Structure 1
Amino acid sequence: MNYENRPVCLSKPVIQRELPAGLPDMRMRLIRVLSKVWVNETELHYFFIDGPEAQREAVRHAFAEWKALPLGLKFTETTDRAASEIRIAFDQADGSWSYVGRDLLGIPATETTMNFGWDLTDDYGHTTALHEIGHSLGLPHEHQNPFSGIVWDDDAVYKYFTGAPNFWSRAQTEQNVLKKFAQQEVDGSPWDPNSVMEYWFPAGLILQPAEYSTGLNPAGGLSTQDKEWAKNFYPATSSTMTELKAFESQVLQLAAGAQADFSISPAVSQNYTIATFGETDMVMVLFEDEGGSLRYLGGDDDSGTGLNAQMKVRLLAGRRYVLRLRLYWAGGSGKSSIMYW
């Protein structure tokens, strides 16, 4: 598919958390790779700030295509801006972009987290919608894969992207094209030139691999590797939901990237502490069940700290809550536990 002279996504800077110096390479890699990934079976709520109905419908179709892989995520449109993790605008003067994965949780509800700056009703627009949703799932730009082997003609890249149709600054060009991610920040998969997260590039920007010196034109849509990546991180398998009772510890023995899910139905309305125990790196997320829809209440990520994930939250009797835990690094014994009191 020829995308010549079409603008491309100008992504927001990835928010990197500070980690202690001296962490072992494997532990660092697991934290970095999984840090943007949602816990599986998360329900992501999206809110349209504005936009014509035809453009909104194009975004809905793109969400449905990701979901149909199938993924262990749920995408729900909401009219409650405060309840949304993804807030979508159609500002034609702001280009197309999205924050990446769990970075969305740090963006105030008053702000946009995804924007579409051109028509989404043609083939290129459909790929754009899939691309920006890919960012929201935790996918970075594919050409910044450190395993790509791409050698750029830097001067040509700057000249192209600072001109029409993108009009980027040199800093934006560096951030979105030339900068390679560190190897410990990605999962090590080979470069996929047909990924939906790949840009198209005109002739003269890529020196190596030589076959792309005449330009790179991805096929458009989700590639086979895109689908495999997404299903690997978000498998559509029904998890076993174990009831977590107050003051009763549950032992966890999870492999890196694996997850445990618990339901909580408190007998008494009061303030509770929910905490993990053990030498692990873990992300813990709590949802409230509102008539079958899970609303995010809060979470904690203890990765690299030597501490444990912990939350203090008020739970109400008669309500049902869902607690999900995803392991990054298993520590020495590979065992941990969870309890609330």
Structure 2
Amino acid sequence: MNARYCSLPQQPAPAFGPGLTAERLSALISGRQMWVNGSVLHYYFFDDETDGSVIPVPGTDETRWVSWAGSKEQQDVVRDCFQEWQDLGVGLAFAEVGDRSEAELRIGFQLGDGSYSTVGRDALSVGRGRRTMNFGWDLTASGNRSTALHEIGHALGMLHEHQSPFAGIHWDDEAVYADLAGPPNFWSRDKTYYNILRKLDPGEVNGSAWDPQSIMEYPFEAGLILEPERYRAGLQPPGALSPADKEFVHRWYPSAGTPRPTTLVPFRSVPLGLGSGEQADLVIEPLETREYTVGTFGESDTVVVVFEEMGGEPRYLCGQDDGGTPHNAHIKVRLVKGRRYFVRVRLYSTWGSGETAVMCW
């Protein structure tokens, strides 16, 4: 039986301004979809009887309405897979919520619509009433648990491993198109190219070497891969988190056992002193309720995110990415006296003097 494959929603290639150095561009590409470390990603399962949409019936001109709700057994598989990622000791946390407006990740189980997820911070651009993740087949069936691990990997910022430019895969293109056009996937040529044949930029991939054992690797039957020769008979990853998968998430999301964050006081700048890919964590405890501006200074590309502490955990308020632009990230946000806020700044790269700072006013 042909394998069912995850199909990432097609996104336009990122557009950066002209004149960027190769080093700066590589840093922007590799980090643009990653969350700031220390984030709590809240997930929600669609469960209302009106949650659903109309999808085409494969092989016909007909459509049908299908619910997004899933059974408790299906949800439990996803919960268990979130916990498996969490148990790696990464600097992210996952929390289930019952209100979709509080969730960065919103999950459906619409059968027949395929399995997919937005990649990393792309979830923040998806409307509150829409899915950022879907499971299109029964996760409780034998061998299907790996689908949930795979889609959560996308939500963390990981991409498909077989699209790595380091893989050295030579496809039988027409055989791939023909295989995916039939059941159970019924993919168009565009979807097949985007999710299988297209090579990623070297800066986008999970590492500098191909990992055929990765949870982000598809299984492939015989006759689709021409080279490397040992995979002509097929490629069957184990469907578990590989050592390279774990190294990737620990590199981007190291354990958050760090000292108390620096306090950010209005009109007093704090030097960052960050290297490429590093992060600074700060806290604001406002003495008055008003609109504040939080911003960075210096010749740098950064992501700045503001969280509010609610129920003992950080809740995302707003953020800005100034990557590839000539200006710095400045966020206007209303802060309330007596509450606690976290500011997290992740650096892509610096140029010029390399000196960077953050301030609120």
1:104 is matched with 123
Q: 1:210 to 1:15 in 2, by over 3 A?
A: same
Contact 2:42–2:96 (CA under 8 A) maintained in structure 1: yes
1:248 aligns with 2:268: yes
Question: Runs of 4+ in structure 1 displaced over 6 angstroms?
Answer: none
TM-score for both structures, normalised by structure 1: 0.97
Distance in 1, Cα, partners of 2:95 & 2:353:
39
Contact 2:5–2:115 (CA under 8 A) maintained in structure 1: yes
Q: 1:187: how far off?
A: 5.4
1:143 is matched with 162
1:30 is matched with 27
1:18 aligns with 2:20: no
2:135 is matched with 116
Number of aligned residues? 338
Q: 1:15: how far off?
A: 5.0
Match of 2:230 among 202, 207, 211: 211
Contact 1:88–1:115 (CA under 8 A) maintained in structure 2: yes
Match of 2:43 among 30, 46, 64: 46
Deviations 1:89-125 (A, max 9, x none): 0000101110100100111101100000111124522
- Measured on the aligned residues, the alpha-carbon RMSD in Å equals 1.1
Letter in 1 for 2:215: V
Letter in 1 for 2:133: M
2:171 is matched with 152
Which consecutive unaligned segments of at least 5 residues does structure 1 have?
none
1:200 aligns with 2:197: no
5 Å-filtered alignment, 1:156-305, equals 156-186=175-205, 188-240=207-259, 241-305=261-325
Report which stretch shifted further, 249-258 or 180-189. Answer: 180-189
Q: 1:11: how far off?
A: 1.2
Tell me the SS of whatever aligns to 2:193. helix
Distance in 2, Cα, partners of 1:48 & 1:39:
24
Contact 1:276–1:308 (CA under 8 A) maintained in structure 2: yes
Letter in 2 for 1:73: L
Distance in 1, Cα, partners of 2:204 & 2:320:
20
Contact 1:144–1:177 (CA under 8 A) maintained in structure 2: yes
Q: 1:8: how far off?
A: 1.1
Which consecutive unaligned segments of at least 5 residues does structure 2 have?
47-68
Letter in 2 for 1:293: E
Contact 2:161–2:206 (CA under 8 A) maintained in structure 1: no
TM-score for both structures, normalised by structure 2: 0.92
Contact 1:239–1:261 (CA under 8 A) maintained in structure 2: no
2:54 is matched with none
2:113 is matched with 94
Q: 1:188: how far off?
A: 4.5
Letter in 2 for 1:314: R
